[in-house]
Chains A and B, each alone.
Chain A
Amino acid sequence: MTAIELAEAVRATWPETVVSRGELSVVLEREELLSALERFRDEPRFAFDLFLGVTATDWPDAEPRFWLAYELYSMTHRHRARLKVGLSADDPAVPSATGLYPAADWHERETYDFFGIVFEGHPNLRRLLLPEGWETFPLRKTEELGGVNTYYRGGAFIPPVDKRTS
């Protein structure tokens, strides 16, 4: 199916369905995320059998603050879809998709690693790329850019390169 045909097929259930530049985006509430994923995977005319990934974006001044984007692909029909879920700043949690797509495991760990989004029901939700014991979620827009607190040199603050003196 093309993106427009897909949009027409799901618009009855999820009215916030957008086709932009040939790409389908479906905006969901987080309560209906798992049922939507299940339907997208199991319904034969959709058959989204490949989980491409989940990632997040951070909008510190907006509400909802975080937007999750699930990318799906169908090897059977060769079409794509994007599922979007908005999360508020004080409760950035969403049910884990690992029960439906085992491939979601590391993607969810990475999103937790960098954005601090909690995937409830994930079997092993801990740091993936950053070292164990890291305290911040560095890809949040509120994190410091440039100057850094380093683990070495006794936890010293290292200013940005253009502000350093010898």
Chain B
Amino acid sequence: MPVERLEGFHTGREAEDEDEETLKRGLLLTSLDKAVSWARKQSMWPVTFGLACCAIEMMSTGAGHYDLSRWGMELFRASPRQSDLMIVAGRVSQKMAPVLRTVYDQMPEPKWVISMGVCASQGGMFTNYAIIQGVDSIVPVDIYVPGCPPRPEMLMYGILRLHEKVQKEGTIR
């Protein structure tokens, strides 16, 4: 039965035609891009970087009950050289800031940062001389997770949003 063609209505047949066009232009390249992004998001290794009470929630996120290994993330690496995600879990003191930046610089590209909890995001209750008022003044942050401390579900939600971002942003940055 012929379908009446309406303005803005697509039958799907055109998409196939478009696919053929893209095939001629190099389908392999775009697919590889997606495949690499998918591989990156599905085995993201966080660096072991607990700073305060948020780290306890981060640990319980990785432990059996919440089981971060469902996304291939159970391996908290002790070496920044093998990691591609830094979860800043807790308040960063002025004296810790250079250390944090060093750890970030030692991580190989591509790398992402989650600012976990209100203290890492903007200083939180520690409005004083000792604490950095927002870790984004030292390292670029991809996802901010609010909460004091955020529950494991909230951290997992942040991680999943980061996965979405990694999938979408592609391999070329």
Contact = CB atoms under 8 A, between A and B. Distances in A.
Is B a genuine binding partner of A?
Answer: yes
B124 interface: yes
Given A131-B95, A158-B123, A152 B137 contact: yes
B113 to A, nearest CB: 15
A150 B127 contact: no
A161 B95 contact: no
Contact of A161 (B94, B97, B125, B130): B125
Given A130-B95, A131-B94, A150 B132 contact: yes
Contacts of A130: 94-95, 130
Interface in B4-34: none
Contacts of A148: 127-129, 133
A152 B129 contact: no
A136 B129 CA distance: 10
B78 interface: no
For chain A, the bracket of interface size reads 10 to 19
A158 B130 CA distance: 12
Interface string A141-166: 00111111011110000101100100
B127 A161 contact: yes
Contact of A151 (B94, B123, B134): B94
A40 B133 CA distance: 46
A161 B129 contact: no
* Interface of A (DSSP majority class): loop
Interface string A132-143: 000010100001
Contacts of B134: 153
A158 B123 CA distance: 10
Interface residues of B, number: 16
Given A148-B133, A150-B132, A150-B137, A160 B94 contact: no
Contact of A152 (B95, B127, B132): B132
B129 A138 contact: yes
B128 A145 contact: yes
A161 B148 CA distance: 14
A148 B95 CA distance: 15
B101 to A, nearest CB: 10
B138 interface: yes
Contacts of B97: 151-152
Given A131-B95, A151-B94, A146 B127 contact: yes
**Most chain A CB neighbours (cut-off 10 Å) among B128, B133, B137:** B133
Contacts of A131: 94-95
B129 to A, nearest CB: 5
A114 to B, nearest CB: 10
A152 B123 contact: no
B123 A161 contact: yes
5 contacts: A138-B130, A146-B127, A146-B128, A150-B133, A152-B137
Closest 10 CB pairs of A and B: A152-B137, A158-B133, A153-B137, A138-B129, A160-B127, A131-B95, A146-B127, A148-B129, A161-B127, A150-B133
